[in-house]
A and B are shown apart, each in its own frame.
Chain A
Amino acid sequence: MSFIPGQPVSAVVQRIEIHKLWDGDNLILGFSIGGGIDQDPSQNPFSEDKADKGIYVTRVSKGGPAEVAGLRLGDKIMQVNGWDMTMVTHDQARKKLTKKNEDVVRLLVTRRSLEDAVRQSMMQH
């Protein structure tokens, strides 16, 4: 998951489908995001590369739709419903996730353990 500005990023991703839940008047997904190109990347506790300005999952509420769907703390969200999340501002990311007319969001997320698992399985062969 190395991040070189200007170079295409390649990562091992996992597809996660979250079904939004009605909480009173709002549709919630059950997690919090941090990061964005307008934010300070050095404060991110989850990123390996402190210059990475991507969107990260900073909190997953227990028993919520995100946890049920398999989202973990520290995941980097690469795409939401086909929209890119690696070069967006914090607010744009929030908007893409909280569209009122969508019930389901399909995320592509990446984490360190995925890479390790793939590398291990490749080494076994």
Chain B
Amino acid sequence: MDTESAYSGYSYYSGRSRGSHRHGERSRDRHKSRSKESSRSEKSVTINAPPAEPLLGDQSVRGEEVQDDNWGETTTAVTGTSEHSLSQEDIVRISKDLDDSVGLDCKRYLNVALSVILGLVVFLTPLAFLILPHLLWPDRLRACGTACEGLFISVAFKLLILLLAVWALFFRPPRAGLPRIFVFRALLATLVLLFVLSYWLFYGVRILDSQDEDYQGIVQYAVSLVDALLFIHYLAIVLLELRQLQPFFSLCVTRSTDGATQHYNLGQLSIQRAAVVILENYYKDFPVHNPALLAASKSRAAKHLAGLKVYNVDGPGENNAAAGIAQSQSRAMIAAAARRRDSSHNELYYEEAEHERRVRKRRARLVVAVEEAFTHIRRMQEEEQKKAPGDVMDPREAAQAIFPSMARALQKYLRTTRQQHLHSMESIQQHLAFSITNNMTPKAFLESYLTTGPTLQYGKDRWLARQWTLISEASVTSGLKDGSVFLLKCIDFSLVVTTKKIPYIQLAEEFIDPKSHKFMLRLQSETSV
């Protein structure tokens, strides 16, 4: 019983893929869920804590899927495309996860190592400038007066400020891994390197070789280096952070599968950086991608194509005529399809009305069931806690206690709106415990099930954060331009991004004297004479 609940407790989508492979019919899915329901209704009598670890289920599912591949070849019935492609994606996803966790991190480590070395060199240079004369020719050095010692303090504090500023700007965990180098950072690193090298060159030639005795001059030289480094840091802030804050382009992002669209205003960025910003916003703005909702339009399209067949009565033609025949065949099909009186629009209309009605009915039942379930538990007051505790439960146990009374209604609703693969039983119970702890009303608890939220709301396995590919005609390090188009591809869908320049707004001023607001009545009088 418990192991069975572990399987049903893991994400419904893998459960569905198993079911479809084994039996090859879509209706089997419903059989499976019905068996889950019956097991759950039995559970309403004896309340057992279901095991929390999905890892067990993970390995076994993976094992199942290796076996399922052979099963898929021996079934005779062909399943609907959506279920089949889901299980394929599972395999691809898991193999990609294995790949990514091992390789391609050396690029990132190389970057970090180089920047740390550069930082150390830059930081230690002024100190070296100050210390080397004392080490190499201490006897010939003129004593350092008060002004000179004041400069020591200034060097110390400026170095401290530089250290803090570099830590604030550069030592942040990276948001994303970009395909090409980050051009501005590379330019800045080169600039800093050249700058420090030129300072060393000057120092080496004019001071070390000639063994200058003017220590104050040397200290001032070191101070000028630190000042210049602070200014380069200012340049880094402007180039890396401030320049793209002013909005310049408006990007329109459309998801290819269902057309969900959002608009973002961005500044002047390179295409790869713009892609990162868009993806960060994708996870919070776009409703989660649900392949189950696309099955209906695919089946309609399949019906259109399957309606007509073209037969070549004249027998196999020659090669150069074959292309002409194929073209005329397709044109004939299109013409015939246009002329055919087909009532699929009628079907769509009634189907959608029926679906709407069913969803609303199930939603009403669900809301009532949840409200009733929430009345069964009560938060214990402080005084009662001190008295002898009778049947005291922590939030998790309380959630498990009231979950069976609403489980059936919730599951039916999720199945009708095709969301059942997004929520596992474990996640629902966790959310219920969370709602109870934070004094949420039943409506607040239901909010995440009644409306499809953004992708961030669901578990991490939905995020697919490592599998985005940037496809662009222009080079990805070049800046955004008006009319540039690029694609962000994921396994299941792609995001099409078009750029438009925000128009230059010419604002004119007009002054209206407040005393000039005067009004008159409109009269239409009629007098009899």
Contact = CB atoms under 8 A, between A and B. Distances in A.
A58 B526 contact: yes
Interface string B517-528: 000001111111
Contacts of B523: 38-40, 90
A29 B528 CA distance: 8
B60 to A, nearest CB: 84
Interface in B481-529: 522-529
B526 A29 contact: no
Contacts of B526: 32-34, 58-59
A90 B527 CA distance: 9
A34 B525 contact: yes
A39 B522 CA distance: 7
Contacts of B528: 28, 31-33, 59, 61
Q: How large is the interface on B (under 10, 10 to 19, 20 to 34, 35 or more residues)?
A: under 10
B529 A28 contact: yes
Contacts of B525: 34, 39, 90
A50 interface: no
Contacts of B522: 40, 43
Contacts of A31: 528-529
Contacts, number: 38
A100 interface: no
Count chain B CB atoms within 10 A of each CB in A44, A61, A90 and give the residue with the most: A90
Nearest to A97: B529
Nearest to A28: B529
B253 to A, nearest CB: 51
Count chain A CB atoms within 10 A of each CB in B524, B526, B529 and give the residue with the most: B529
B518 to A, nearest CB: 15
Contacts of A40: 522-524
Contacts of A44: 524
Q: How large is the interface on A (under 10, 10 to 19, 20 to 34, 35 or more residues)?
A: 10 to 19
A33 B529 contact: yes
Interface in A19-50: 28-29, 31-34, 38-40, 43-44
A73 B226 CA distance: 98
Contact of A43 (B524, B527, B529): B524
Contacts of B529: 28-29, 31-33, 94, 97-98
Nearest to B528: A32
B519 to A, nearest CB: 13
A97 B523 CA distance: 20
Contacts of A97: 529
A85 B205 CA distance: 106
B520 to A, nearest CB: 9
Contact of B524 (A29, A39, A59): A39
A80 B523 CA distance: 23
Interface string A3-32: 000000000000000000000000011011
A31 B527 CA distance: 9
Interface in A108-125: none
A120 to B, nearest CB: 33
A51 to B, nearest CB: 14
Contacts of A94: 527, 529
A33 B524 contact: no
A38 B478 CA distance: 69
Contacts of A90: 523, 525, 527
B524 to A, nearest CB: 4
A20 to B, nearest CB: 9
Contacts of A58: 526
Interface string B230-256: 000000000000000000000000000
A11 B526 CA distance: 24
Contacts of A61: 528
B528 to A, nearest CB: 4
Interface string A40-76: 1001100000000000001101000000000000000
A25 to B, nearest CB: 15
Count chain A CB atoms within 10 A of each CB in B522, B523, B524 and give the residue with the most: B524
A116 B193 CA distance: 98
B529 to A, nearest CB: 4
Nearest to A105: B529
A115 B45 CA distance: 101
Contacts of A98: 529
A61 B527 CA distance: 13
A90 to B, nearest CB: 6
A109 to B, nearest CB: 14
Contacts of A39: 523-525
Nearest to B526: A34
Nearest to B523: A39
A36 to B, nearest CB: 8
Given A90-B525, A94-B529, A97-B529, 12 more contacts: A29-B529, A33-B528, A33-B529, A34-B524, A39-B523, A39-B525, A40-B522, A61-B528, A90-B523, A90-B527, A94-B527, A98-B529
16 contacts: A29-B529, A31-B528, A32-B528, A33-B527, A33-B528, A33-B529, A34-B524, A34-B525, A34-B526, A39-B523, A40-B522, A40-B523, A40-B524, A43-B524, A58-B526, A94-B527
Interface of B: 522-529
Q: Which 4 A-B pairs have the closest CB atoms?
A: A32-B528, A40-B522, A43-B524, A97-B529
